[in-house]
Each structure stands twice: as structure tokens, then as C-alpha cells.
Chains A and B, each alone.
Chain A
């Protein structure tokens, strides 16, 4: 029994595929979905989306959004999708040091910096795993 998995970003439908099991980054930790999962709507965090299919697993980095599970269809609405193999640790390390070097003189700037650092760290985790 397979699940239909659809990943959409505001700009396009990025991935549409069949999978036997899916692992999603919910806002507070990973969650696995297999066939015949109960209907669910969840809030996503930034992290790794893993689709296990018949010919191995494919991995993506996704950034926030929602997931809806219904009738063996998993719809993932997210801001950004990057295939894991497109993430390069060296560039990301550079991005991380850039993000850490951002100014943090007031609350607003600190907030922006924190968000940027979190995003890059989440990407790095996917790239390195």
C-alpha cells in the first residue's frame, strides 16, 4: 500500500510522488506517516522530509508550513523545498558564519539574526545527515 505525497510551495507543485512511508519535520520533532494514517493536520518546522519509496529514499529540506494527511494522501504546504543533494555543506557553513555576523543591536535585529541562524542550521543538519 502506498501513499501519495504532494509537496507544494507558493510558486509551484515541487514534488508529486508515491511513497511507502514518509518522515516529516513537525514543529516540535519528526513524525512518521505510513499507509492508512488517521486524518491529521499539522504544523511543520524546518528540517528534513524523507520519502521512502520502492527505489530507495529521497530527501528534501523543507521550511515551515503545514501538512494534511487524508485518505492516504499527504499534502505538504511549505515555503521552500530544496532537494538534499543540492545543499552544499561548505556554502552553508559560509552562510552560517554570515548569519552569525549579522548585527544584533536591538530586539528586532536579534530576531532576524536568530531566524537566519536557525534556518541555516536546519539546512546544515539536512546536508550533513
Chain B
């Protein structure tokens, strides 16, 4: 039978780990709430910019912009990968890395140069281990990405795209669908397929009013399109942040539950071991008494 003392020691260490995972779960829950609030706050800008585009489209403006056009050139592509800086979040980074490898390979088939931009330490090391070294890395984005920090990155990519040094930009990130469902997805950011004007007919925001444009509809369009690219990229970062916290929350919750199970099993074995130890000792004493009697 196992040594009761060793079992007790093991049980204690499992208890300590449980305390840690439980705390991490609580922290992740708090962070998730905060990240979620930020993501919801950001949607009001997206909604309004869609309204502006819908109004532009209604006014009869031809929605045309270099950023919207599909390129025939297949020279340069870039892939942005959004992962986390910290681990212990279940399959969150693994899913992204798997998706990245698949997408990178298919891009590499179609384009001559594919630039890999990775955000998050986990993704950087994980991809490097698999033989995909990143051309550009960012590790400064934690659970609260700021628009001011993302804007320069977006602007740089825009400049490259307009100058023709980039023909396609895709992003791999964990999309937040609901609090119980997040999936690793690939999205094309450049060229922008459409600026949320696909369902303009049913758009309640695009009212029938005749808008006056200052200075002109074209000039506004010129500004709206890059802005909606920046906001799209920003939304990806926000989504990734929210999904990361959910993933961590779920992973830590199951770790805590697993620790509970282990403690229960260990307690049972420990009690049995203790009992059999006592029984053994009693048997020895009785044996000794019997021996003395005879």
C-alpha cells in the first residue's frame, strides 16, 4: 500500500495548485469583463462609419477607392497573426498557430513574397519552433490594445499597399462570436472587399435625407476608406484580447475542476492507506500479545 505520508504531501501540493488556478480564473474573468466593455464601446464608431458610407452610397457616389480594388499582381502579401503574450490559456494559441501555418503555406503558393507579422510572444516562439520565422514582431499588446498604438501599424501597411509594395493583407485572429464560442479565423483586410455597404439597402442608418457634403462626397470617401481599414484592424485586436481572456478563463476553470477531482481521489487513497496502516499496527500488537500469552 502507498505511503500515507507521501500521499498527504501530494494532496497538499495539488491544493496549492488549485488555489493558483482558481485565482487565475478570477483574474481572467475580471479582465474579460473589461475587455468586453472596451469591445462593445468600440462598436459605436463602426456603426456610425457604416452609416456614413451608406449615406455616401445613397447619394449616388461611386464607391471607388484604390483600397477597395482587387489586385491582379501577386508579388507581395502579408499575414498578421494575433496571439497572446502569456500561456495557460488552453488551445487559444495552438489554434491560431495551426491556422497560420495553413494560411501561410497557401499564400506562399500564390504570392512570391509573404511577410509574416506576429503579435504576442507565444505565437512568435511557437511559429519559430515550427520553422516560420516572423519578419516583424510586436509584444507590446496586452489585454487592452489602444487605438493610438495600432494606428501607426495600420498606417504603415496602408502606405505600403498604396505604394504597391503590398498586394494583399490577411489577418489570423480569434474571432469573438459569443461568450461561449470563439474561433480562429483568417480575414482579408486589404483590399477591403466593401466598407460595410453590402447590405446598404436594409441599412436603417442610411436615411433618405439629402446630405450636403463638405468638401465633396469623393473627398470624404477618400478619408472614410482608410479609416474603416484602421478600425477593422483595431477590432481584430480587440476581439483577440477578449477571446484570450475567455480562453484563459475556461482553461483555468477546468484546471480547478481537475484539481478538485484529484484531491478527492487522493483523499480516498490516503484514507485507505491510513486505515490499512492502523490495521497493520493493531495486528502486530495483537500478534505480540498472543505470542506472550502462550
Contact = CB atoms under 8 A, between A and B. Distances in A.
B132 interface: no
A13 B56 contact: no
B173 interface: no
Contacts of B56: 41
Interface residues of A, number: 26
Contacts of A80: 148
A10 B215 contact: no
Contacts of A127: none
Nearest to B238: A11
Interface in B217-248: 217, 219-220, 223-224, 227, 230-231, 234
Contacts of A8: 44-45, 48
A31 B213 CA distance: 13
A39 interface: yes
Nearest to B55: A41
Interface string A5-39: 00011111100000000000011100100000011
B209 interface: yes
B211 A11 contact: no
A70 B212 contact: no
A41 B214 contact: yes
Contacts of A27: 214-215
B212 A9 contact: no
B49 interface: yes
Contact of B55 (A31, A68, A71, A79): A68
Nearest to B47: A8
A63 to B, nearest CB: 10
From DSSP, what is the main secondary structure of chain B's interface residues? helix
Contacts of B219: 43
A39 B211 contact: yes
Contact of A13 (B41, B215, B227, B234): B41
B15 interface: no
Contacts of B49: 66, 77
A74 to B, nearest CB: 11
B44 A42 contact: no
A88 B223 CA distance: 30
Interface string B178-190: 0000000000000
B262 interface: no
B223 A66 contact: yes
A26 B223 CA distance: 13
A43 B48 contact: no
B147 A11 contact: yes
Given A10-B230, A11-B42, A41 B211 contact: yes
Interface of B: 38, 41-42, 44-45, 48-49, 51-52, 55-56, 146-148, 151, 207, 209-215, 217, 219-220, 223-224, 227, 230-231, 234
15 contacts: A10-B45, A11-B146, A11-B147, A12-B41, A12-B42, A27-B214, A41-B211, A41-B212, A43-B219, A64-B223, A66-B223, A68-B55, A70-B211, A77-B45, A79-B147
Given A10-B234, A39-B209, A43-B214, 19 more contacts: A8-B45, A8-B48, A10-B45, A11-B41, A11-B42, A11-B45, A11-B146, A12-B41, A31-B214, A39-B207, A40-B214, A41-B52, A41-B56, A41-B213, A41-B214, A41-B220, A71-B207, A77-B48, A79-B151
